[in-house]
Structure 1
Amino acid sequence: MKGIIDLGRQDMPPSRRGILGAGLLSVALTDPNWPDVMGRMETVRQGRVQRIGMPDVDMVIAMTERVSELDDQFGGRHARPMAAAFLVNTVAPYLRADGSEPVRKAMMSAASDLCYLTGYMAVDEGLHGLAQQYYLKALQLAGASEDHLTYCTTLRGMSVQAVDLGHGRAAVRLADAAAAASPQAGPRMRAFLTGQQAHAYAQVGNRNEALRYLRDAEAAMEKAESRERAFGSYDPSSLQYHTSQVRFELGDAHGAVEAMQESDRLRHDVYRRTRVKERAVLAERQLSIGHLEAACATWHMALDDYPLIQSGRADQRVQNMFKLIRPHLGNHAARDLYERARTVTPATLMTSEQRITP
């Protein structure tokens, strides 16, 4: 799988390849099985792997889950170098090794999921071209392994990237393709897919389709929640986020604020990076409807977590905050927010004007 090797090395400078060991050390303490995982990875590095089995697949899956947790807590800029190193040093040799057909397909599926996650983290950094390369590799591996779940998830991720960049028509095509590729999806997966379709259609101004897909997502979520509550997947908070996005795209700023507030209330605490980004979006929308002091309070909550993450999307939202709040510095709440933001924002992200007290 030469493509994965090249992609990983392009993503990760040689000087940063050593980060893998330190990163693994930090997560090894949380799982009693990690000593065995560490041993397997050392074996791969030394070139002794000739044949893989399901324990090797399980190790890749476990590592992907750990990197995903780090991404949620600390942002893509922290976690992506680790994922890229893991692709180069461990997953690529596994994909070249011998194994039974079921094991090889399972390994390709696990590698596909890791490529998707790495692409998602590249989006978080604002490295959109690199993200698309990872997404395309994820699609290739998912197709080869007949992994419909990762295939659909990746297409949906590409739609999310497109809609965030304002490419509504591309977002619609990708969201529709994701839904079409998963005709037998369960209710939670259906909500996951149709919620994104609703957002994409709203961005291109197709009100009827946007609202239809949003209703479909709501019905599917209700069915999913009646069966079981799921942590770490598409949940009512995620659906409220999509509801807010649809309402905003369709011109209902007040409704968008209400839905985003509900999303924030329902969100699990572990998603720190998402919390920062979406609270900043909520504050922007509160300001757009004239609720200056409420917006300042929401931005303060975003700043509580902001120093703990490394995220290009979060950085962009903080830069937006400086621009939006500056015309309101005659207001005491706005002034306090501006001064606090100057103390927690890296100097490299601020303009010379922002570094000077107004």
Structure 2
Amino acid sequence: MPPTPNVRLRQLLETADWNAAQLARAIRQVATEHGTPVACDRSSVSRWLTGVRPRPPAPQFLLEALSRRLDRPVTPEQAGLTRAPDRMPPVSWEAAPLRTLALLTEAELAPARRTPLTTAPFSPLALAVPGLPLPGPPSPDGERGADDRRGGGADADRMDAMAEVFATAAERLGGGPVRAPLAAYLAHDVTARLRAPSSGTVHRRLLAKAAQLTLLLGRICADGGDDAVAQHYQLVAARLSADARDHGTLAIALRTMATHAHDLGHSGPAVRRLAELACEHARYAPPVVQAYAQAHLAVLQAGYDRRAALTALDRAERLRLDGAEAPGPFTAYSLGALHYQRAQTLATLGDRAGTVRALTASLRARAPGERHARTLTHARLAEAQLGMGHLDAALPHWAAFLDAYPSLDSVRATRRLGLMRRHLRPHRRHPGAARLLGRADGLG
């Protein structure tokens, strides 16, 4: 029998004011963002409208394209795709964060359930965060919970120690080897501690530590190229820190969400609003957190307001230099990272020489343990040097990048390797460039 026409999909197309060609173009755009180009044109959409089922991964991209156009989530049922693969677990600001965290981490550890996670596209709709109560000055009786903090100190200290272990391993090796162990720790140990009875003060402290571990897992997923998974962990981390009333961790989560979206090419009002919210919630956090938030605000403002960008960058540098910091993934902001954000800001402002200087300063300031960051900075500096026409100055940095690349399990590093190949192919007759291309080809 011939397939039944997909009336629901046709109705959505009419609501979106799109024809088949426009939907196909939007699907291709989402697929390209996800790094999985699909062959989709007007005739493909026409077949789907007649009732032919789109083949994976096209359904995921179709639903995301329609969701973006209509500014609301579109489910498989609403699009007449009831046999489409499951999408990400339903994650929203209103969803219970602990239940969501359990769903996500359990799926991470089950290969059959992990596939829908890793094939989902990044969604700008999830960047909308509701208005949250802003912090006020610390209360003078803030020490009344000291006994509670000591009571929950052992569990919280263990979470701190584990966060440092996982962060250090990810920086040395890339996120790949760390992702499953961290997901298991969250799924088994952390969620059990959070469900155990405790006083309000202790529970909030543990929530904040869980938010930091979740945020770290989100960063690792982003480094692995699973951007939708990362986005959902970031949102859960923001919600956990909000429930914990930990505005410093909330500021870090909001800044991370904005950075991730910007890295994927999104820089519209929703992304800038996240960066602004991060600065607002960092107001009474330690100076290092304020500097961290201000630095990325400068990166985003550089595309719109030069003076505001330079003001935010100057503020970040003063806060970073004036404030004390403690070692740890959420209590330190390295000078090398700050110089890197300066380079991003200056690059957007069109200051190529300033970008090279800032990246050079970033390399000099990187601590030996910042291996992953150092490797990516070498690649960025090589690209900046070549952009100024300085091929000979770029080659040593690409060589240093290739030296470290085999020891990193990082999609971000793999993407920089692909960029290096594209940049050097026009110069393949140069002996140094030819040697580097040969080394790169040997890395697969």
Shorter-normalised TM range = 0.7 to 0.9
Aligned residues of 1:113 and 1:150 also touching (Cα < 8 A): yes
Does residue 7 in structure 1 map to residue 107 in structure 2? no
Aligned residues of 2:163 and 2:213 also touching (Cα < 8 A): yes
Does residue 297 in structure 1 map to residue 396 in structure 2? yes
Aligned residues of 2:282 and 2:293 also touching (Cα < 8 A): no
Distance 1:93 1:157, change over 3 A: same
Greater per-residue helix proportion: 1
Aligned to 2:413: 314
Q: Shift in Å at residue 206 of structure 1?
A: 1.7
Aligned counterparts, 1:222-301, within 5 A: 222-224=321-323, 233-301=332-400
Q: Shift in Å at residue 182 of structure 1?
A: 2.0
Aligned counterparts, 1:99-118, within 5 A: 99-118=198-217
Counterpart secondary structure, 1:166: coil
Aligned residues of 2:238 and 2:250 also touching (Cα < 8 A): yes
Distance 1:298 1:200, change over 3 A: same
**AA at the equivalent of 1:101:** G
**AA at the equivalent of 2:185:** F
Q: Shift in Å at residue 16 of structure 1?
A: 12
Aligned counterparts of 1:60 and 1:208: Cα–Cα separation in 2:
41
**AA at the equivalent of 1:124:** D
| Aligned pairs, number | 308
Q: Shift in Å at residue 13 of structure 1?
A: 2.5
Aligned counterparts of 1:228 and 1:71: Cα–Cα separation in 2:
21
Aligned counterparts of 1:264 and 1:72: Cα–Cα separation in 2:
15
Distance 1:237 1:174, change over 3 A: same
**Deviation per CA, 1:302-337, whole angstroms, max 9, x where unpaired?**
111111110110110001111111110100110111
Distance 1:191 1:290, change over 3 A: same
Aligned counterparts of 2:105 and 2:433: Cα–Cα separation in 1:
44
**AA at the equivalent of 1:190:** Q
Does residue 161 in structure 1 map to residue 251 in structure 2? no
Distance 1:53 1:215, change over 3 A: closer
Say which is worse superposed, 229-238 or 249-258, in terms of deviation.
229-238
Aligned counterparts of 1:153 and 1:228: Cα–Cα separation in 2:
15
Moved over 4 A (4+): 14-17, 227-232
Percentage of identical aligned residues: 34
Aligned counterparts of 1:228 and 1:104: Cα–Cα separation in 2:
25
Aligned counterparts of 1:298 and 1:11: Cα–Cα separation in 2:
36
**Deviation per CA, 1:132-163, whole angstroms, max 9, x where unpaired?**
11011111111111111111100010111122
Structure having the higher Rg: 2
Aligned to 2:289: 189
Does residue 73 in structure 1 map to residue 161 in structure 2? no
Aligned residues of 2:252 and 2:289 also touching (Cα < 8 A): no
Aligned residues of 1:168 and 1:201 also touching (Cα < 8 A): no
Aligned counterparts, 1:18-167, within 5 A: 53-167=152-266
Q: Which has the higher contact order (CA 8 A, sep 6+)?
A: 1
Aligned counterparts of 1:278 and 1:123: Cα–Cα separation in 2:
17
Distance 1:222 1:87, change over 3 A: closer
Say which is worse superposed, 89-98 or 118-127, in terms of deviation.
89-98
Aligned counterparts of 2:181 and 2:425: Cα–Cα separation in 1:
38
Distance 1:230 1:145, change over 3 A: closer
**Deviation per CA, 1:153-184, whole angstroms, max 9, x where unpaired?**
00010111122112112332111000011222
Which residue, 238, 256, 274 being the options, matches 1:174? 274
**AA at the equivalent of 1:198:** A
Q: Shift in Å at residue 2 of structure 1?
A: 2.1
Aligned to 1:336: 435
Aligned residues of 1:72 and 1:270 also touching (Cα < 8 A): yes
**Deviation per CA, 1:267-287, whole angstroms, max 9, x where unpaired?**
111111111111111111111
Aligned counterparts of 1:230 and 1:142: Cα–Cα separation in 2:
21
**AA at the equivalent of 1:182:** A
Aligned to 1:21: none
Normalised TM-score (structure 2): 0.66
Aligned counterparts of 1:152 and 1:284: Cα–Cα separation in 2:
31
Q: Shift in Å at residue 60 of structure 1?
A: 2.1
| Structure 1: stretches of 5+ with no match in the other structure | 18-51, 348-358
Q: Shift in Å at residue 229 of structure 1?
A: 8.4
Aligned to 1:49: none
Aligned counterparts of 2:228 and 2:430: Cα–Cα separation in 1:
41
How large is the RMSD of aligned CA atoms in angstroms? 2.1
Normalised TM-score (structure 1): 0.81
| Structure 2: stretches of 5+ with no match in the other structure | 1-97, 115-150
Aligned counterparts of 2:383 and 2:210: Cα–Cα separation in 1:
38
Aligned counterparts of 1:199 and 1:107: Cα–Cα separation in 2:
32
Aligned counterparts of 1:59 and 1:230: Cα–Cα separation in 2:
15
Aligned residues of 2:385 and 2:391 also touching (Cα < 8 A): yes
Counterpart secondary structure, 1:130: helix
Aligned counterparts of 2:415 and 2:254: Cα–Cα separation in 1:
25
